[in-house]
Chains A and B, each alone.
Chain A
Amino acid sequence: KAGVTQTPRYLIKTRGQQVTLSCSPISGHRSVSWYQQTPGQGLQFLFEYFSETQRNKGNFPGRFSGRQFSNSRSEMNVSTLELGDSALYLCASTAGVIGDTQYFGPGTRLTVL
């Protein structure tokens, strides 16, 4: 079974631009969660999507948004990028049952200049 895939793996943007990251979950998994990882704050939860609906949301500004498609693939978008948005963005998939194991992708490394 293929693991969680994320594209692109690396991205460089400038302040003010927007960016879209993609995550393909493990086949059969219906839940995708997004996390931001930085050296100072560690891993912080952004949001979770299940069956195309946002089921949970972390404490991030509205510039961070996401969506999930009918095939469970998910995208997250960050608008008006700031220097502080530089981070590793990880997605994790589960079958969707509460308490399921999360399987993480390798992440997208975003650098904002």
Chain B
Amino acid sequence: TQLLEQSPQFLSIQEGENLTVYCNSSSVFSSLQWYRQEPGEGPVLLVTVVTGGEVKKLKRLTFQFGDARKDSSLHITAAQPGDTGLYLCAGRNTGNQFYFGTGTSLTVIP
């Protein structure tokens, strides 16, 4: 059962453009994490959001947790080729189990 839906699945943009990735669920999560995975590597944690409505910024990346703690978004400003990768959201339930979204594959063209 896929509890987290990510959109879009694929995204190809030019360097300098902005983009938003969405992560939606009908379930409430204790926290939500965003990871980036590059080919041949495991996912690397970017951020954890815990409180409904929380916004966190990491340089050009802005993460938001929905008020009801069911959804999240990742916004990248002025994308660079180094942002290329698979972006995964993961919700943690009260049993400390993580549910991952199917991922968004981002390609930033120089």
Q: Are A and B subunits of one complex?
A: yes
Residues of A at under 8 Å CB distance from B? 4, 33, 35, 41-45, 48, 55-56, 58-59, 90, 92, 98-99, 101-107
**Are A41 and B98 in contact, CB atoms less than 8 angstroms apart?**
no
**Which of B1, B31, B102 has the most CB atoms of chain A within a 10 A radius of its CB?**
B102
Task: Give the 10 A-B CB pairs with smallest separation, nearest first.
Answer: A104-B42, A43-B100, A42-B102, A98-B96, A104-B43, A90-B42, A105-B42, A56-B97, A106-B42, A42-B100
Other than A41-B102, A43-B43, A102-B98, give 18 A-B pairs with Cβ distance below 8 A: A33-B98, A35-B100, A41-B2, A42-B2, A42-B100, A42-B101, A42-B103, A43-B90, A45-B97, A45-B99, A48-B96, A55-B96, A56-B97, A90-B42, A92-B42, A99-B92, A106-B41, A106-B42
Please, how many angstroms separate the alpha-carbon atoms of A45 and B101 in the complex? 12
- Say whether chain B's binding surface is mostly helix, strand, loop, or mixed: loop
B83-110: which have CB < 8 Å to A? 88, 90, 92, 95-103
- State the interface size on chain B (CB cutoff 8 A): 23
- Cα(A56)–Cα(B98), bound, Å: 10
B44 close to chain A: CB less than 8 A:
yes
Contacts of B1 in A (CB 8 A): 59
* Contact of B82 with A by CB under 8 A: no
Contacts of A92 in B (CB 8 A): 42
Which of the residues A35, A41, A58, A99 comes within 8 Å of B96, measured between beta carbons? A99
Chain B's closest residue to A31 (CB) is B96
